Amino acid sequence: MRNLFIALTLITALSACVQKDNTKLTSVEEIKTTEINEYGNTLQVFTSAHNSEFKLTPTGTIEFSNFKQPLETEASILVDPSKKFQTFVGIGASLTDAAAETFYKLTKENQAKFLEAYYSIDKGIGYSLSRTNIHSCDFGSGSYTYIKEGDAELNTFNIDHDREFRLPFIKSAIAAAGGELKMYVSPWSPPAFMKTNNNMLNGGKLKPEFAASWAKYYAKFIKAYEKEGIPIWGLTIQNEPMATQVWESCIYTAEEERDFLKNHLGPTLEKEGLGDKKIIVWDHNRDLIFQRASTILNDEEASKYVWGVGFHWYEDWKDGIPMFDNVARVHEAYPDKNLIFTEGCTESYDLSRIVNEDPKLAERYGKSMINDFNNGTVAWTDWNILLDETGGPNHVKNLCFAPVHGDSKTGELTFTNSYYYIGHFSKFIRPGAKRVTSVSSSNKLLTTAFVNEDETMVIVAMNQSNEAIPYTVTIGSKTATLDMPAHAIQTMLLK
Q: How many CB atoms lie within 10 A of CB 175?
A: 12
- Give the class (CATH, top level) of 90-428: alpha beta
Q: Cα–Cα distance between 439 and 452 in angstroms, integer?
A: 19
pLDDT of amino acid 362: 98
| 128 φψ region: left (φ > 0), alpha (ψ -120 to 50), beta (else) | alpha
Closest-CA residue to 159 (of 170, 173, 150): 170
Q: Name residue 460's amino acid.
A: V
Stated as kind and residue range, the H or E segment containing 220 is helix 211-227
Residues of the chain predicted below pLDDT 70: 1-40
Closest-CA residue to 401 (of 132, 93, 19, 131): 93
Q: Name residue 462's amino acid.
A: M
What residue spans in the chain does CATH classification 3.20.20.80 cover? 90-428
Q: Cα–Cα distance between 423 and 10 in angstroms, integer?
A: 18
pLDDT of amino acid 41: 86
Q: Cα 304 from chain centroid? A: 25
Cβ-contact 476, 72 below 8 angstroms: no
Report the catalytic residues. 240, 343
Model pTM greater than 0.75? yes
pLDDT of amino acid 203: 98
What residue spans in the chain does CATH classification 2.60.40.1180 cover? 6-87+435-494
pLDDT of amino acid 160: 98
- Give the class (CATH, top level) of 6-87+435-494: mainly beta
Q: What is the pLDDT of residues 15-51, one digit of tens each?
A: 333 333 333 333 323 322 222 234 458 999 999 999 9
